[in-house]
Homo-oligomer: A and B are copies of this chain.
């Protein structure tokens, strides 16, 4: 019973129709992202998105149920790109504690540096869960590195991560609402370092080190409009 090499492609391979569909969907997402970066979500109109994507107005609903669903996808993509940029940068930071401080501070600072993206992010449906999924791979890796090195003391990385992510989103919301202060990134990173087990003086020092820039690599063009 030998399988013929000329048999039909495995069902996982997309058909030409599916590929075309995916390209159209991508064009709509790209157009929406550019429009959001330009003038915000509130002023976004479906007709402008389809015009920008060069897609017939009526076919919008073949791809998305609503403008809101498309916006969620744009934001999810942006979080994903941001997380990937974070992973790339964190890999070059030797001390896991510095890596955790770096990521925490950059997410908090997003509320100051890119309030449009930050406010889309914190207002996502189930923001905690989506954000946690996006940062999970690199965040767990950083926690595990710190635990293995005896630098962190964390019994259950998943529970710790949930608390850290939820706290970080709340600090971002407080900044966006004008309820928080300029150095909240440092203060929150310090609290996070303590929570994973660092001594007070170490947490104090590491949270206050000069913050390396986070460059969104040019290999992430899909997020360029939102993650500047």
Contacts and interface: CB of A to CB of B under 8 A. Distances in A.
A111 to B, nearest CB: 12
Interface in A110-125: none
The A interface is mostly helix, strand or loop, or mixed, namely helix
A132 B162 CA distance: 18
A156 B181 CA distance: 10
A169 B166 contact: yes
B181 A171 contact: no
A129 B173 CA distance: 8
Of A128, A173, A197, the most chain B CB neighbours within 10 A belong to: A128
Interface stretch (A12-20, A27-35, A183-191): A183-191
Contact of A173 (B166, B167, B184, B190): B166
Interface of A: 126, 128-129, 132, 153, 155-156, 158-160, 162-171, 173-174, 177, 179-181, 184, 187-188, 190-192, 194-195, 197, 200
Given A163-B167, A163-B191, 14 more contacts: A128-B170, A129-B179, A153-B200, A156-B187, A158-B180, A159-B171, A159-B181, A160-B187, A162-B171, A166-B166, A169-B170, A191-B195, A195-B195, A197-B200
